[in-house]
Chain A
Amino acid sequence: MATQHSRSAARLMMSPAVFLLLVWMLVPLIMTLWFSTLDYRPMRGTFDCCEGLGNYSRFVTSSAFLDSIVATLQLVGGVLVITVVGGVLLAILLDQPIWGQGVVRILVIAPFFVMPTVSALVWKNMFMNPVNGLFAHLFKGLGLQPVDWLSQYPMFSIILIVSWQWLPFATLILLTAIQSLDSEQLEAAEMDGAGPLSRFGHIILPHLARSITVVVLIQTIFLLSIFAEIYVTTSGAFGTRTLTYLVYQRVIESQNVGLGSAGGIIAVILANIVALVLMRVVGKNLDA
């Protein structure tokens, strides 16, 4: 249907975005690739060729590397499970006829507007602090021993903070999807005697499949680069050092830019593998 003319017009309209993104991706990437083969340690004043793959093998063989992969998977996986399950349930709840729906919706989406740094600071100091935090007061009030969240359950605490920020996003998208569901279809199923569970499993969930994959895809992209929440709360201690945080430690704290750049390249490769897998799944869903 598209004519030759509109096709070339389309190409022209796409070109600024494609061009900018290419430059934005390639220039730093090539420089990072170059740095990753150098012994580049500004504090030592070294900027020497040629480490070859030395930085890569050092980065991968260090014991911190595997731990950081595990931490990354825990963080991303944990947040995804909580936000998707919570998001579906919340979306269904908010879709019911209730009084003050608009206000409740405002309350639920509010955390999405909060800066990551601020939310981490607030959670860490005002809630999870084992002496002055609100949870500690609550536990003491109930006669229990206050929990030291950030050192006893460090990963769980960070997952909780990040989930709090991203639950609104998942809820919003899933709510939009549920509202587009044909209510007659549901009523018909109810007439046929389908219980709430079977309606959920046979009608609602399949309808949401696509939106769920979209939520998973977008959140994964953002979650892989989570930084502020870890920096503020545990600074990577207690097994919360994700791959992104490990690269940060190499580049900024150790000021070993060569090693950190190698880590950055490895992170890109791994992230793209994850992305490819995800896109296979999402791509299928998007075509459907």
Chain B
Amino acid sequence: MARAVTTQRKIAFTALAWIIGLAIFFPILWTILTSFKTEATAIADPPVFFNFDWTLENYTVVQERSDYMRYLWNSVVLAVGSTIFGIIIAVPAAWSMAFVPGKRTKDVLMWMLSTKMLPAVGVLYPIRLILIELGILDSKGALIFILMMINLPIIIWMLYTYFREIPGEILEAARMDGATLKDEILYVLTPMAIPGIASTVLLNIILAWNEAFWTLTLTTVDAAPLTAFIASYSSPEGLFYAKLSAASTMAIAPILILGWFSQKQLVRGLTFGAVK
């Protein structure tokens, strides 16, 4: 009896969850489907779902017009580069705030978060003028630095909340056993911190990949990532749904695939004070 009820419940919940999941995913699915249609099929009424003549034409057109690989490479360099440098700076900071908290730790954290509040466009002119002065406009280095800085507060905070979940007793025990600070970090903390760092890395890559203000206003050729690529397809002349879909699919596919493969890691680190 009890089992029947649970099975029924499970069926109901499964159905509900799948319906909601598919509804949320539908816009992405529809974009991918549309990218394989001709422009005329793309706006057909009633809409067609799977029974159309699949074509790769849109991808060929897009690739002919813009060198996708160059934009993709720039996106990868910017996202990965800013993440690596960000992590190198954030891990020590978060570690010390989590394990050697002072009276002001919380204030420092909040101040860090507040640096994200300045509207980007308000400081566009200052930042541009500085980059021009330094001669590094449209350089990957400058973009890596900027993307690192805008995400740094979030990654420090995320790491901080994760590190705080690591019980301090373990450290004390290690210290009793005569472990030095170096040992403590290398053999005790690092293994426990890996999941948190991994998910922070993923989140930062996603945020950097999708950043669309600075990457669009400070780049032309050498550093232009996929956000600039998509800006040349946003509303061209004539029918453009299918080509827009192809360009969109190309812009989001790499990060979508990365996200799906790593979603377990991503979830594991997103504790943000969940425990307790």
Direct contact of A and B (CB under 8 A): yes
Interface residues of A (CB under 8 A from B): 1-2, 6-7, 9-11, 13-14, 16-18, 20-21, 24-25, 27-29, 31-32, 35, 90, 93-94, 96-101, 103-119, 121-123, 125-127, 132, 134, 137, 140-141, 164, 167-168, 172-173, 175-177, 180, 210-211, 214, 217-218, 221, 224-225, 227-228, 232, 243-244, 247-248, 251-252, 257, 260-261, 263-265, 267-268, 271-272, 275, 279, 283, 285-287
Tell me the bound Cα distance from A175 to B266 in angstroms: 12
Contact: B122 with A263, CB < 8 Å? yes
In the assembled complex, the CB of B10 is this many whole angstroms from the nearest CB of chain A, namely 6
In the assembled complex, the CB of B273 is this many whole angstroms from the nearest CB of chain A, namely 5
Tell me the bound Cα distance from A119 to B113 in angstroms: 26
Tell me the bound Cα distance from A97 to B14 in angstroms: 8
In the assembled complex, the CB of A97 is this many whole angstroms from the nearest CB of chain B, namely 6
Residue ID in chain B nearest A177 by CB atoms: B274
Interface residues of B (CB under 8 A from A): 9-10, 13-14, 16-18, 20-22, 24-25, 27-28, 30-31, 34, 43, 45-47, 89-90, 92-93, 95-97, 99-100, 102, 106, 108, 110, 112-127, 129-130, 149, 152-154, 156, 161, 172, 181, 206, 209-210, 212-213, 226-227, 230-231, 234, 240-241, 244-245, 248, 251-252, 255-256, 258-260, 263, 266-267, 270-276
Contact: B18 with A260, CB < 8 Å? no
Chain A residues lying within 8 Å of B45, measured Cβ to Cβ, are: 132, 137, 140
Q: A14-B96, A113-B256 are in contact. Are A214 and B272 (CB under 8 A)?
A: yes
Contact: A106 with B260, CB < 8 Å? yes
In the assembled complex, the CB of A50 is this many whole angstroms from the nearest CB of chain B, namely 18
Chain A residues lying within 8 Å of B256, measured Cβ to Cβ, are: 110, 113-114
Tell me the bound Cα distance from A32 to B125 in angstroms: 8
Q: A9-B96, A20-B149 are in contact. Are A117 and B118 (CB under 8 A)?
A: no
Tell me the bound Cα distance from A137 to B48 in angstroms: 11
Contact among A20, A134, A173 with B47 in the assembled complex (CB-CB below 8 Å): A134
Main secondary structure of the interface of B (DSSP, over half): helix
Contact among A99, A164, A265 with B27 in the assembled complex (CB-CB below 8 Å): A164
| A-B interface pairs (CB < 8 A), number | 283
Contact: B122 with A264, CB < 8 Å? yes
Pick 18 A–B contacts, CB within 8 A, sort by A: A17-B92, A21-B149, A28-B127, A93-B20, A96-B9, A98-B13, A105-B21, A105-B267, A111-B25, A113-B255, A122-B245, A210-B276, A211-B274, A217-B113, A224-B117, A225-B116, A264-B123, A279-B110
Contact: B118 with A164, CB < 8 Å? no
Residue ID in chain A nearest B125 by CB atoms: A257
Contact among B90, B123, B126, B245 with A126 in the assembled complex (CB-CB below 8 Å): B245
Main secondary structure of the interface of A (DSSP, over half): helix
Q: Counting chain A CB atoms within 10 Å of each CB, which of B21, B102, B172, B227 scores highest?
A: B21
Chain A residues lying within 8 Å of B100, measured Cβ to Cβ, are: 2, 6-7, 9-10
Contact: A27 with B102, CB < 8 Å? no
Q: Which 5 A-B pairs have the closest CB atoms?
A: A264-B122, A10-B96, A13-B92, A31-B126, A107-B21
In the assembled complex, the CB of A37 is this many whole angstroms from the nearest CB of chain B, namely 14
Chain B residues lying within 8 Å of A2, measured Cβ to Cβ, are: 99-100
